[in-house]
Structure 1
Amino acid sequence: MTLPTASKDEAQSAPMVLFAGATKRFGEGDNAFVALDGVDMAVGRGAITGIIGRSGAGKSTLIRLVNGLEKATSGKVVVDGTEVGGLDETGLRTLRREVGMIFQHFNLLSSRTAFDNIALPLEIAGLDRAAIRAKVGPLLDLVGLGDKAERYPSELSGGQKQRVGIARALATSPKLLLSDEATSALDPETTQSILALLKQINAELGLTVLLITHEMEVVKTIASHVAVIDRGRIVEQGPTFGIFTAPQHETTRILLSSALGTTLPEWLRSGIKPEPAAGDRVLVRLTFFGATAFEPLTARLVTEIGGNVNILAGAIEEIAGEPFGTLVVAYPATPDVVARADRFYAETGLATEVLGYVA
């Protein structure tokens, strides 16, 4: 079933993927397992959107609804104006040519060369050999494997296998690329090279990318938008920078707790108290972004409240291409020092969070 035709401008402004009350149950009656529970989410055209969540939260089920590998029990999943649940087998085959997919474990055929693995969807589509060669050669060059066309998967590294998988996913010129934990089996250096390739493809081809991952570093590096799923529900979504720097939901906070590099050592965490006693020091996390990212505010804080300031932890990050820094400091919890610090924070717009008090 195809939705009513929209104007060109409306089509360009509409989401590439829309989940509207999408629910997926496995089983019947009281024994049914609810994998997805009324998901509402839009994936913008040309964006790289990450979906994060704990194991079993519903990430894989959600992405399988997009290409019709699973069908929603209720609600709708709309891809580029087409409701996936209303498609017959012919319609699903057409949809899947427009939705590429890359996998965690590559899913390459060991008996076929890199060239022939990439050519497979084109063979299934009925292209002749000349047309296939014209398509596969540039794809090999795009993913940096122009000299590996005749290599078999056993002769390729993990990163090279994933590059073949990406090229294969692009063979039918899809509008949407799905990534199912595509970097989880790779080492950190190779992961960064694959993420750089996906960003390049997104920029050069204008391809919408929807990825699921449990790796916060992946989302922080590549995604412009992020959605957090917990027990089958989207609990938080929005631009990656906003979600990472000011998470609102407890699940998001837990997932991101170690992602920004300011985790305190156990000996310090175990001594934090919710209320101060005489002689205690207040523990404050300072957050630097936007206009505050490049200003020497820490030095000014020391000048404002005196030299008795300890720096306990800190990190400088880049989230979705924007600078972001955090610093955990401690200073005397006396009323006059705290008042001077608070005035300084208000005047400079520095974001702060009181973590507690330590002796």
Structure 2
Amino acid sequence: MVSFENVTKTFSSRETGKSAFKALDNVTYTVPRGVITGIIGRSGAGKSTLVRLVNGLERPSEGRVIVDGTDVAALDEVALRSVRRSIGMIFQHFNLLSSRTVYDNVAMPLEIAGMGKQDIKKRIEPLIDLVGLSERTRHYPAQLSGGQKQRVGIARALASEPKLLLSDEATSALDPETTQQILGLLKTINRDLGLTVLLITHEMEVVKAVTSRVAVMDKGQIVESGRTFDVFTAPEHETTRSMLAALPGGSLPDWIGRQVIADPKPGCTALLRLRFFGETADQPLVSRLMTVLGSPVNIIAGTVDEIAGEPYGTLYVAYSADPAVMRKADQFYAQTGLNAEVVGYVA
């Protein structure tokens, strides 16, 4: 649906006209049709620049941006306006007109396109119902909550029947409960309308909850990409691992972390991170581990969750670092397929 081919974007200094900042550095990536793809990274990683290239708000310094078979950067303004009608956009701060009602805000792109009032009504009313605002049709933005404003923004983005929906930090101004509601709405839109969604965010929880595929950005480059479940359960790049550590259960409690040493000493305890997924997710493997070891297993921290709809759990456990015990544990992990990693030792 969207392809970035060796895309570089450099912004020049206004004072000197010379190159000042490379926001994107030789990015090559394809967003597949019909799925929700997340682009994640810290502030300044290049995420928003990437999405602005898709709808032609920025043009690449090098490379091509292909949207549904069209090279966006090669279009003149007239042709670009036509392409933009096939691309919906939802924003972090809603961008609603305060003087227009819910209905009128959603209808605005169709009015600009010259559609007649009755055709607009036929298009808009089902969308307002889809986003759950049919009882708020005549309300103004000042009368709406943040979540309701974002629902208006989503309905407006869908008004032109786009093939692609861009979401740039659309949930970062919302509280956690409202965020989950908006993400649920995006999943419904993706499922029911078959819409391709490109979601830009710095929030790992958002990516975990709603995307099927993810690309991780750092310093203007895509440093890791793939199925969301695969990237989250087996991160390869340090940026990905660092961002995943912010998730609940993603890292050790501080009081334990301060005690961890790198190498074992006589009588110390081994500290391990166990990852449960696939066939291991719903099996009583920890209780079986204790039986096999014949030694106590102390549960330090953990969480059980879903990533892209697939069950996944992380558990930090500690047990004797005696070599005989460690060998039994390694054999158990090999037999069961349980992912285990020694993260250190506690004296």
TM-score (norm 1): 0.94
- State the match for 2:6 in structure 1: 21
Corresponding residue pairs, total: 344
Deviation at 1:31, TM superposition (A): 4.2
Structure 1 ranges of 4+ moved more than 4 A: 28-31
Query: Does the aligned pair in 1 maintain the 2:24–2:219 contact within 8 Å?
Result: yes
User: What 5-or-longer segments of structure 2 have no aligned partner?
Assistant: none
CA distance 1:260–1:239, shift in 2 (3 Å)? farther
Identity of aligned residues (%): 64
- State the match for 1:89 in structure 2: 77
Q: Alpha carbon RMSD of aligned pairs, Å? A: 1.0
- State the match for 1:45 in structure 2: 33
- State the match for 2:132 in structure 1: 144
- State the match for 1:169 in structure 2: 157
CA distance 1:354–1:30, shift in 2 (3 Å)? farther
User: Which of 112, 115, 139 is 2:103 aligned to?
Assistant: 115
Alignment of 1:246-285 (within 5 A): 246-285=234-273
Q: 2 CA distance for matches of 1:358 and 1:306?
A: 20
User: What 5-or-longer segments of structure 1 have no aligned partner?
Assistant: 1-15
Deviation at 1:262, TM superposition (A): 3.9
SS of the residue corresponding to residue 95 of structure 1 reads helix
Q: 2 CA distance for matches of 1:256 and 1:309?
A: 25
Query: Does the aligned pair in 2 maintain the 1:260–1:317 contact within 8 Å?
Result: no
TM-score (norm 2): 0.98
Q: 1 CA distance for matches of 2:95 and 2:343?
A: 46
Query: Does the aligned pair in 2 maintain the 1:52–1:212 contact within 8 Å?
Result: yes
- CA deviation profile, 1:169-208 (whole Å, cap 9, x unmatched): 0000000000010001111111111000000000000000
Deviation at 1:267, TM superposition (A): 1.8
Deviation at 1:222, TM superposition (A): 0.2
Deviation at 1:263, TM superposition (A): 2.4
User: Which of 292, 308, 319 is 2:296 aligned to?
Assistant: 308
Deviation at 1:326, TM superposition (A): 1.1
- State the match for 2:229 in structure 1: 241
- State the match for 1:12 in structure 2: none
SS of the residue corresponding to residue 261 of structure 2 reads coil
- State the match for 1:72 in structure 2: 60
Query: Does the aligned pair in 1 maintain the 2:102–2:140 contact within 8 Å?
Result: yes
- CA deviation profile, 1:106-152 (whole Å, cap 9, x unmatched): 00000000000001000011101111111111111110111111100
- State the match for 1:4 in structure 2: none
Query: Does the aligned pair in 2 maintain the 1:262–1:328 contact within 8 Å?
Result: no
Alignment of 1:217-232 (within 5 A): 217-232=205-220
SS of the residue corresponding to residue 268 of structure 1 reads helix
